[in-house]
Amino acid sequence: MFGMGMPEILLILALALIVIGPKKLPDLARSLGKAFGEFKNASKDFKEALNAEAPPPETQKNLKAPENKKEKEDNHAG
């Protein structure tokens, strides 16, 4: 989790307990959990909207200009 081990996480939780207090810590954790959940849902909706707007990969291949082998050979011939 972000390159942090168990000792670092425990230290952060202990500092949060001291700074915020035991009465407010559950409320803070609950609100952070809701915020992360909303952010996750919003990013999922955004990705779905982008995927709905983008053409499928098969269509993208067809949109590319067809390459002409004869033109390539003429260019390499000099």
Give the pLDDT score at 76: 60
pTM above 0.85, yes or no: no
pLDDT in single tens digits along all 78 residues of the chain? 578 899 998 998 899 889 988 899 889 889 999 999 999 999 999 999 888 877 666 665 666 655 655 555 556 655
Give the pLDDT score at 50: 85
Give the pLDDT score at 4: 83
Give the pLDDT score at 25: 87
Contacts for 25 with CB less than 8 Å, ≥ 6 apart: 16, 17
